Structure 1
């Protein structure tokens, strides 16, 4: 009998190992702007793409020319950087999406106003 119970425990552990990391397996990575990278006129880039919470946006750019700022809706609409906004500056930023609206912009002078911003909704 104890052999059967041991086998059942092993089977449960194996099932849990297969089921628990499913979110990681389903996560996708999207390079913002494609091969051109994070640049001007990005507003339309998310159109036609489906995003899920946990997906990763990859922002490639020259850190001396741009940055990425995660902002709220008001910051996105007004091209402003609200207090406490997370600023990314590496030039190879990887940002995990949260469920709902996600807003990003470049806060270098005039860049957001030139379309260097995106709004992504993750399900």
Structure 2
């Protein structure tokens, strides 16, 4: 029984790890440095090939005595301004968690390195599981009815009934799809464990 419980816990830990956030090493396999080959893929080209989500993280690897990472705003990014930054990292093994949607701007803490394309823009996709401020929910029937102090014109006739069809259900969110996938994986893992034992 103890072996079964241990195996079950190990399977659950593996499934949670598969459903979690992703850590991306900046640039792929290389380190955070000035690109040595002008024909190689830039950091921004690398970023465009990935889909970053809230909760994912970036791993910057660099020699701490020679370089650093600055999180900056768009203006500082465009001018390689190392004097104005949001956050500075210089530990040589920086993990930065992407905690909101939208763009994140990074440059080298060495201005001449930034000028030589050691810079990165990462755009984090919006979380579609929460309502967006740009698309407010439809008004409720109570909010459409006039206040009681106003006179309401009479209806055209009692035989005519105006009704609106209910709105279509919202498309499934990424979060619910992940949950369904996770539950399926969990069920498959438990089933496999029971089959093996």
2:34 paired residue number: 40
- Paired position in structure 2 for 1:109: 111
Alignment-derived partner of residue 191 in structure 2: none
The CA RMSD over aligned residues, in Å, is 1.9
- Given that 1:43 and 1:115 are in contact with CA atoms closer than 8 Å, whether structure 2 keeps it comes out as no
Larger Rg: 2
TM-score normalized by the length of structure 2: 0.47
Q: Which runs of 5+ in 2 are unaligned?
A: 1-15, 36-42, 126-197
Specify the alignment match of 1:120 in structure 2: 122
Considering fraction of residues, name the structure with more strand. 1
Does structure 1 residue 31 correspond to structure 2 residue 46?
no
Aligned partners of 1:69 and 1:104 also within 8 Å = yes
SS at match of 2:44: coil
Aligned match of 1:78: 79
Q: CA deviation at 1:84?
A: 5.0
Q: CA deviation at 1:96?
A: 0.6
Segments of structure 1 that go 5 or more residues without pairing to the other structure are 1-21
CA contact (8 A) 1:79 1:105 kept: yes
Q: After the TM superposition, which parts of structure 1 deviate over 3 Å for at least 4 consecutive aligned residues?
A: 81-84
Alignment of 1:80-95 (within 5 A): 80-81=81-82, 83=84, 85-95=86-96
Q: Match of 2:187?
A: none
